[in-house]
Amino acid sequence: MNISYQPELLFVDGRFHQHYALEVSSDGTIVSVGPIAQSRTEASIHKLPGRALLPGMIDIHSHSFQRALRGKAESRRRSGPDFWSWRNIMYRCALALTPEEIYDVARMAFLEMALAGITTVGEFHYLHRTPTGSPYDDPNLLAKQVIRAADSVGIRIVLLRCAYVRSGFELSPDPGQIRFLELDAEKFLRDADTLRNEIAAMPATVTFGLAPHSVRAVPREYLRTISSWAHSHALPLHMHVAEQPAEIDACIAEYTLTPFHLLDQLGLLTPDFTAIHAIHLQPGEIERMALGKITVGACPTTERNLGDGILCADELIDAGVSIALGTDSHTQTDALENARELESNLRLRHLQRAVLDGRQGEPLPALLFDFATRSGARSLHVDTGTLEPGKPADFFTIDLSDCAIAGSLPEELLTNIVFSMSPGAIRDVAVAGKLIVNHSQHPQQVEIIEAFRCVQQRLGAEL
């Protein structure tokens, strides 16, 4: 039987409505969204008094294993002064985890995401090998551990299988990267295709994409080979680009091209392409990104943590480039904090307020919430991010009496959600119609946290 969710407020078409129902079929598809009186089919009624219901948020960029690193890399003694030295402790974390621990850590990361109203994760997965660099019998073992973790939590996942070939232009191999490496493009594609086919037989909440790690880690011919394969299968293609100034210098030294000019030359700049970070942009690059209709995957909570820099979201939006959001290093799991940080950074840079307001013709909170929902769906090729008939019922509810948003007038509510609410206000979360969080609790929460605690105990404070 269909279920008719009847919250106090329902977010559709950019605003909150009273006396609306979201009707969901038994297979988890949205049947109708509209005034309660217009619901024609017989459905069991699930009233949600004191709740507002919104489309689930989409986190396009996660490295779930890095959840184990939280708390271990906030001092210079442990992780040095910058992004490049931070990578060393991150590599030690990657080398330390067993396959079962990768599952336990991913479950913790995805549990935290679910409790924060995130219903889809794009997992940029680059752990492929054993800690000694030898292959597992199944080259997709670790990818499947992460998928298994997402399935266990109930979150939708797009597994973006990552290619990682080298330390960088004219750099000697880094032993810290030994679990990431796939030196041969043809072998990489065979393994990727195997995983793609296996995922095709999995539930619809698991899909597949490709992720050449970066211009630094994947040389030009390899990149050309795997991106043309991705295009032939119409896959989402994600890549770290222009996170740090040194990457730009290395790219120019190797190819006499800036990163986005190189990607343009290779034909990568299409609507299927998402450039993660894209912070240190060079003259002429934004125009090329806009022409290609690419998405930029901003990860402000990680970018501020790593000292990466500030995204010029204002210039990108004005040029028509789509922006989506990611958690990345899991230093903080809060999609709305990522959204508001885009704007906050620009206020500090320009000494102005409401910098992004009105761009693309949208009020500021609606624009930022779109980045956390619709833009993410576009980037990951998932049919979610809005509540419309025929789409999967991925949504979350919030407690309207939560202190951060209490007293909001309906027309202020989205502003207060985007600028002031924490994940603690989130009560129910559904993926494909299945409630995976009920009254702020996940049914496996205690077990997931305990397993993660054991991993952290084994790793200890030092890596």
Q: Which of the residues are catalytic?
A: 277, 328
Buried b (16+ CB within 10 A) or exposed e, 291-316: ebebbbbbbbbbbbbbebbbbbbbeb
* The one among 112, 328, 343, 370 contacting Zn ion by CB under 5 A: 328
Positions 169 through 188 that interact with Zn ion (CB under 5 A): none
Size of the site for Zn ion (CB under 5 A): 1
Tell me the closest approach of the beta carbon of residue 60 to Zn ion, in angstroms: 10
Q: Which amino acid is at 406?
A: A
Stretch that binds Zn ion, among 170-178, 198-206, 254-262, 322-330 (CB under 5 A): 322-330
Distances (CA, A) of 23 to 2, 16, 357, 430: 7, 16, 33, 13
- Whole-angstrom distance, CA of residue 30 vs CA of residue 388: 6
Tell me the closest approach of the beta carbon of residue 276 to Zn ion, in angstroms: 6
* Residue 85: both structure tokens together: 């030295």
Which of 23, 328 has the CB closer to Zn ion? 328
Tally the C-alpha atoms within 13 A of residue 197's C-alpha that lie toward its C-beta. 5
Tell me the closest approach of the beta carbon of residue 308 to Zn ion, in angstroms: 10
Tell me the closest approach of the beta carbon of residue 63 to Zn ion, in angstroms: 6
Do 43 and 4 contact (CB within 8 A), yes or no?
A: yes
Which of 330, 442 has the CB closer to Zn ion? 330
Tell me the closest approach of the beta carbon of residue 328 to Zn ion, in angstroms: 5
- Whole-angstrom distance, CA of residue 205 vs CA of residue 27: 12
Stretch that binds Zn ion, among 11-19, 326-334, 342-350, 423-431 (CB under 5 A): 326-334
Tell me the closest approach of the beta carbon of residue 332 to Zn ion, in angstroms: 14
Residue with smallest beta-carbon separation from Zn ion: 328
Stretch that binds Zn ion, among 101-109, 142-150, 324-332, 337-345 (CB under 5 A): 324-332
- Whole-angstrom distance, CA of residue 30 vs CA of residue 390: 5
Q: Which amino acid is at 186?
A: E
Residue 437's region, left for phi above 0, alpha for psi from -120 to 50, else beta, is beta
Positions 28 through 87 that interact with Zn ion (CB under 5 A): none
Which of 72, 213 has the CB closer to Zn ion? 213
Stretch that binds Zn ion, among 167-175, 189-197, 320-328, 400-408 (CB under 5 A): 320-328
Which of 97, 418 has the CB closer to Zn ion? 97
Positions 184 through 213 that interact with Zn ion (CB under 5 A): none
Which of 276, 455 has the CB closer to Zn ion? 276
Which of 328, 394 has the CB closer to Zn ion? 328
Do 164 and 181 contact (CB within 8 A), yes or no?
A: yes
Work out the number of other CB atoms within 10 angstroms of the CB of residue 363.
17
Tell me the closest approach of the beta carbon of residue 241 to Zn ion, in angstroms: 11
Which of 24, 181 has the CB closer to Zn ion? 181
DSSP-H helix ranges across 311-406: 313-319, 335-350, 364-372, 374-380
Which of 124, 188 has the CB closer to Zn ion? 124
- Whole-angstrom distance, CA of residue 248 vs CA of residue 215: 9
Identify how many contiguous H helices and E strands the chain contains and give both numbers.
16, 16
- Whole-angstrom distance, CA of residue 411 vs CA of residue 403: 18
> To the nearest 10°, the Cα dihedral for 333, 174, 146, 298?
30
Which of 294, 431 has the CB closer to Zn ion? 294
Do 239 and 227 contact (CB within 8 A), yes or no?
A: no
What string of DSSP letters covers 88-144? HHHHHHHHH--HHHHHHHHHHHHHHHHHTTEEEEEEEE---B-TTSPBPSSTTHHHH
Name the pairing type of β-strands 273-277 and 20-24.
unpaired
- Whole-angstrom distance, CA of residue 107 vs CA of residue 389: 30
Q: Does 112 bind Zn ion (CB under 5 A)?
A: no
Tell me the closest approach of the beta carbon of residue 61 to Zn ion, in angstroms: 6
Tell me the closest approach of the beta carbon of residue 393 to Zn ion, in angstroms: 29
- Whole-angstrom distance, CA of residue 398 vs CA of residue 57: 13
Binding site for Zn ion (CB under 5 A): 328
